[in-house]
Structure 1
Amino acid sequence: MKSVINAIPVDPIWFPLVKKFYQAFYPSGKPNKAEPLWVIKDGANILCAVRLKPLDQCLLLTGLVTHPRHRNQGIAGQLLQTISEQLTRQPSYCLNTPELTPFYTRHGFIEVTDEALLPSELRSRLQRYRIKQPRLIAMQYHKKTPT
């Protein structure tokens, strides 16, 4: 039987380990001590991490990464479920590629089809990011009802 491992906010003492985790498995996802970070860990091993970047008018979920040996086991979904309270406190978004849309849709995000509705800071960030990733899309979190 698989044990349930809860997601926790990152304590500052864990920051160096989270930084190493990102460097190893998602080098472009550079964590910042000033941003809320959440992880699922098993003992001293980080299995999954995510950053919640506060912007002026919203929250940007970014840098969701799972250790390669623990992918496709529902851990990232568990992490998103745990932080759903933080995501409902203010408008919350993620920017991702179309391949990830089904995953985020299952976890309460919907695609923003009219980018004019995005907060201005997020809209300009999306436009900048699309220079390197033209297929990038924006999704907004909407609290899911239990099924």
Structure 2
Amino acid sequence: MSMPYPDAERVPSLWFPLAKKFYQAHYPSGKPNKADPIWVIKQKGTILCAVRLKQSKNAQLLTAMVTEPNYRGKGLGSHLLSGIQTALAERSCYCFALTHLVPFYTKNHFNTILAEQLPKDLKSRFYAYTAQGRALTPMRYQQP
């Protein structure tokens, strides 16, 4: 199926303030950081979907995946993840999926794993998040 959306692109430093504004509007806890790559799909200068690849010592954590509310449920998130497969495969890539989003991430080449299989630094972060009451499932990207 052909997507009517532009390809994913990495946010250049010039666009960082716009990515930050997008996160503040749609996912305030996303807290973008200039040190971590942010990938977006934008249309006519407007960000429609974004994801951050938080870098750690031995891996990366896919985090802050968000789609502009008017574009949700239209395949844009899958289109973005498909467009960044090379970046996802560069280093071991994990995500902490909200439990109701496990089917979405599974469809996009992430496999459920045990928390014990996470790298040490990500494991401690995962346990801290779940201790706060977040319903999360650890997952790892498998290149298709």
Cα deviation code 1:20-62 (max 9, x no counterpart): 1000000000000111000000011100000001111111000
In structure 2, give the amino acid aligned to 1:136: L
Query: Where does residue 129 of structure 1 map in the other structure?
Result: 129
Matches of 1:17 and 1:52, distance apart in 2: 17
Q: C-alpha displacement at 1:135, in angstroms?
A: 2.1
Q: Structure 1 pair 57/73, CA: closer, same or farther in 2 (3 Å)?
A: same
Matches of 1:28 and 1:4, distance apart in 2: 26
Query: Where does residue 75 of structure 2 map in the other structure?
Result: 74
Runs of 4+ in structure 1 deviating by more than 6 angstroms, as ranges, are none
Matches of 1:135 and 1:84, distance apart in 2: 26
Matches of 2:79 and 2:16, distance apart in 1: 21
In structure 1, give the amino acid aligned to 2:126: L
Aligned pairs for 1:3-18 within 5 A: 3-18=4-19
In terms of fraction of residues, the more helix-rich structure is 2
The sequence identity of aligned pairs, in percent, is: 44
SS in 2 for 1:6: coil
**Structure 1: which 5+ residue stretches go unaligned?**
none
Q: C-alpha displacement at 1:87, in angstroms?
A: 1.0
Aligned length: 143
Aligned pairs for 1:1-147 within 5 A: 3-113=4-114, 115-144=115-144
**RMSD of aligned Cα (Å):** 1.3
Give TM-score, length-normalised by structure 1: 0.93
Matches of 2:36 and 2:49, distance apart in 1: 16
In structure 2, give the amino acid aligned to 1:67: E
Q: C-alpha displacement at 1:4, in angstroms?
A: 3.3
**Structure 2: which 5+ residue stretches go unaligned?**
none
In structure 2, give the amino acid aligned to 1:6: D
